[in-house]
Structure 1
Amino acid sequence: MTTNEPPQNPQQPYPQDGYPQGGYPQQPYPGQPYGGQYPPQTPPAKKRKKWPWILGGIILLFVAMFGGCMALIGGAANEIDKEINREIAVTYRVTGTGSGSITWTDKDFNMAQETDASLPWEKQVTISGFGKTASLSVTNSSDDGATSTCEIIVDGQVKYTQTAKGAYASAHCSGSVD
């Protein structure tokens, strides 16, 4: 045999290509790392537990909501306290002829009365509390020609007025002074 061919080995497939038994070496494809070999095996990353983060987020949300509600309630309570303590100056005035029995509300809805008061009559009071309401009533004396007019005045403006004519007639003024 005078050829330049390698000898044929029955145990080695494809002896003419010059590669060892086991086939052709694999060439890397474009974008394939490690020269066509599998990448080295790395241990899987340890998974972090998600439930502590979820629980922490829920607790944080609860604390934020609770704090917001407390701030809102505190602000509302502060505004209510300011309104209760705010005072308004009110003038009660009764004009007319003769005399009459006069009843009015004072601070904190306290009732006061003056019987057989000579007209004209005037009184200044301070109203406070949550529902700032003023009330004034006058009842004429027994004189048939008696007339009386009640007025509630706030900041120089007549807010409520009513007139009564005749013996024992009554005029009543009341309402909010806010």
Structure 2
Amino acid sequence: MTQQQGWSAPVPPPQRKKRRKWPWVLLVLALLLAGGCAALFVGVVHEVDKESKREVTVRYEVTGDAKDVTVTYSVYRDGDLSQNQVSGVDLPWRKTEKTKGFVKGGTLVATLGASGGTLRCEVTVDGSAHTARASGPFASATCDGF
């Protein structure tokens, strides 16, 4: 028997190309990361907005034995600073303000006159008190409450 020329092995069927999965996995991970960041951002914005609308009480108080006292107090309202001054104050002196906004609180400066004496100032914001003392002619005490 003789072999015929031109015969070859059978042609294998075409192989199906494998699709790579890692680009899809990477895309899904990127989308999940972006969604998580967006959710975190929305949550932070919501909390900041809620805090800026919360109203707090700011209480100012000056006590002591001084006779000629000048009181200067400020309060933040909706981002604006409001400042007031009262001269010739008899102690004890008290003032209460309501405020809201991103920055809340106030500052109190009590200044003794030429006759001197002693005084204590206190600013209380949401139950947290900040105090200072001063004594002697023209001395000042400054209390910040934020």
- Could you say whether these structures have the same fold, taking a TM-score greater than 0.5 normalized by the shorter chain as the test? yes
* 2:137 maps to amino acid: A
Q: Percent identical across equivalent pairs? A: 33
Q: Trace 1:53-132 onto structure 2 (pairs within 5 A).
A: 53-96=21-64, 97-107=66-76, 108=79, 110-119=81-90, 120-132=92-104
CA contact (8 A) 2:62 2:121 kept: yes
Question: Quick one: distance in 2 between partners of 1:59 and 1:156?
Answer: 50
- The answer to whether 1:151 aligns with 2:122 is yes
The Cα offsets for residues 120-174 of structure 1, whole Å up to 9 and x where unpaired, read as: 2211123444454432110012224x332211134566x1222222221111112
Q: Is the 8 A contact 2:124 2:145 kept in 1?
A: no
Between 1 and 2, higher relative CO (CA 8 Å, sep ≥ 6) is seen in 2
Q: Which residues of structure 2 form unaligned runs of 5+?
A: 1-9
Give deviations 1:37-69, integer Å, cap 9, x for gaps: xxxx9x647414414x44333322222221111
Question: Aligned letter for 1:71?
Answer: A
Deviation at residue 104 of structure 1 after TM alignment: 1.8
Residues 70 and 89 in structure 2, CA contact (< 8 A), matched pair in contact too: no
With the length of structure 2 as denominator, give the TM-score of the two structures. 0.72
Aligned AA for 1:84?
Answer: S
Q: Residues of 2 paired with 1:111 and 1:160: CA distance?
A: 19
- Distance in 2 (CA, whole Å) between partners of 1:155 and 1:132 is 10
Aligned pair partner of 1:138 in 97, 107, 110: 110
Q: Distance in 1 between matches of 2:88 and 2:55?
A: 27
Gaps of 5+ in 1: 1-40
| C-alpha contact (below 8 Å) 1:103/1:111 kept by paired residues | no
Q: Normalising by the residue count of structure 1, what TM-score does the alignment of the two structures yield? A: 0.61
Number of aligned residues: 133
CA distance in 1, matches of 2:124, 2:29: 52
